[in-house]
Structure 1
Amino acid sequence: MIDNYLTIDSFEKCIKKAINNIKIGNLNEAIEYIHEAMLQDDSSPKPHNLLGIIYEIRGELDLARKHYRASYSLDPTFKASSINLERISSFSYKFNIENIKYGYESLIPEKYYYEIVYDEKNIGRLKRL
Structure 2
Amino acid sequence: MFNHKIERDGLSILCKDVRYLMENKEYDICQERITEAMKVYPHAPQPHNLMGILLEKNGEHGNAMKHFRAAWALDPTYIPARRNMERFCNLYPKGACAFDESDCRKEDKRTRYEAVYDEYGVGHMVRKELA
Please report the TM-score for the alignment, with normalisation by the length of structure 2: 0.70
Partner SS for 1:101: coil
Cα distance in 2 for residues equivalent to 1:99 and 1:49? 14
Q: Is the 8 A contact 2:15 2:99 kept in 1?
A: no
C-alpha deviation, 1:52, in angstroms: 0.4
1:23-34 equivalences in 2 (<5 Å): 23-34=23-34
Partner SS for 2:43: coil
Identity among equivalent positions (%) equals: 30
Q: Is the 8 A contact 2:48 2:68 kept in 1?
A: yes
C-alpha deviation, 1:6, in angstroms: 4.6
The residue aligned with 1:42 is 42
Cα distance in 1 for residues equivalent to 2:81 and 2:6? 26
Partner SS for 2:102: coil
- Deviation readout 1:35-85 (Å, 9 max, x if unpaired): 222222110000000010011111110011111111111111001111111
Q: Is the 8 A contact 2:15 2:46 kept in 1?
A: yes
The residue aligned with 2:83 is 83
Q: Is the 8 A contact 2:11 2:46 kept in 1?
A: no
Q: Which has the higher helix share?
A: 1
Indicate whether 1:101 and 2:98 are aligned. Answer: yes
Q: Is the 8 A contact 1:15 1:37 kept in 2?
A: no
Which runs of 5 or more residues in structure 1 are unaligned?
A: 114-127
Structure with greater Cα Rg:
1
Cα distance in 2 for residues equivalent to 1:79 and 1:9? 18
The residue aligned with 1:55 is 55
State the number of aligned residues. 111
Cα distance in 1 for residues equivalent to 2:77 and 2:110? 18
Q: Which has the higher strand share?
A: 2
Q: Is the 8 A contact 1:7 1:40 kept in 2?
A: no
C-alpha deviation, 1:87, in angstroms: 1.5
Q: Is the 8 A contact 1:21 1:29 kept in 2?
A: yes
C-alpha deviation, 1:7, in angstroms: 5.0
Which runs of 5 or more residues in structure 2 are unaligned?
A: 112-129
